[in-house]
Amino acid sequence: MTAALMLELRDLSKSFELHQQQGARLNVLRGFDLRLHAGECVVLSGPSGAGKSTLLRVIYANYRPSLGAVHVRHQDRWLDLAKATPHEVLDVRRHTLGYVSQFLRVIPRVPALDIVAEPLVAHGVDVQQARRRAAYMLSRLNVPERLWQLPPGTFSGGEQQRVNIARGLIVPRPILLLDEPTASLDADNRAIVAELLAEACSAGSAVLGIFHDEDMRDRVATRLFPMQALEAA
């Protein structure tokens, strides 16, 4: 059986207007096409400045594309996020599209356990059950139990990143975008993240990510997608 198509980018372009340079335009993506299927883990590769993070931000609807379409399979229909209303974007983020960046957005005074559990609670899961799942994710990611009841503001970079990954993966998402989520992790912890991502893909998630570490790319990628930097217009 062929895996379901989950995301299709068609003729996507993104340029930025540089207001501090007399309105010069920087073309970052031009005529970009990509198809992502359930169970795949596609890793974006290419030099710094090629537009990898910009592409993920366009898909997540943080940036509006200059041209083109971002078709997402959302529940039982297709939606073009380039044209979606803010309400539709939020609904897609809640149910379909996850995004894990390099940085944890720390919420003052909220303990790590609750930061991780929160997306499950928002999904309607009972708080105690969500906390149990959060504890499981934190143990899988080797976050010491003595830290679970503390707000992660003072945690090390790698500890914060593991809390962030636990939070990003606690709700299974049909499509998962990852922007260097393992940048501050050591090899052992990267291997655990690779394991969690392989489990997500086996369960049917479609993953699109950026990983600078070659060992992560080799472990997780079912396909590499090379990108090149465009020149400024």
Ligand X SMILES: Nc1ncnc2c1ncn2[C@@H]1O[C@H](COP(=O)(O)OP(=O)(O)OP(=O)(O)O)[C@@H](O)[C@H]1O
Q: Which of 41, 51, 96, 216 binds ligand X (CB under 6 A)?
A: 51
- Establish if 52 lies at the interface with ligand X (CB under 6 A): yes
Per-residue x/- marks for ligand X, 162-201, CB under 6 A? ----------------------------------------
**Which among 120, 47, 52, 58 is positioned nearest to 84, based on CA atoms?**
58
Q: Which of 12, 38, 50, 197 binds ligand X (CB under 6 A)?
A: 50
**How many whole angstroms separate alpha carbon 221 and alpha carbon 9?**
19
Asked if residues 81 and 61 have their Cβ atoms less than 8 Å apart, the reply is yes
- Establish if 54 lies at the interface with ligand X (CB under 6 A): yes
Nearer to ligand X, 16 or 225 (CB): 16
Nearer to ligand X, 41 or 50 (CB): 50
- Establish if 213 lies at the interface with ligand X (CB under 6 A): no
> Angle formed by the axes of helices 157-169 and 127-140, to 10°?
130
The count of chain residues that interact with ligand X, using the rule CB under 6 A, is: 10
Backbone phi, psi, residue 142, to 5° = 60, 30
Asked if residues 65 and 74 have their Cβ atoms less than 8 Å apart, the reply is no
One-letter amino acid for residue 102 of the chain: Q
Per-residue x/- marks for ligand X, 18-47, CB under 6 A? --------x-x-------------------
Asked if residues 184 and 157 have their Cβ atoms less than 8 Å apart, the reply is yes
**Which among 112, 202, 93 is positioned nearest to 164, based on CA atoms?**
112
Asked if residues 209 and 201 have their Cβ atoms less than 8 Å apart, the reply is no
- Establish if 48 lies at the interface with ligand X (CB under 6 A): yes
Stretch that binds ligand X, among 5-13, 49-57, 153-161, 216-224 (CB under 6 A): 49-57
- Establish if 225 lies at the interface with ligand X (CB under 6 A): no
- Catalog residues that contact ligand X under the rule CB under 6 A: 16, 26, 28, 48-54
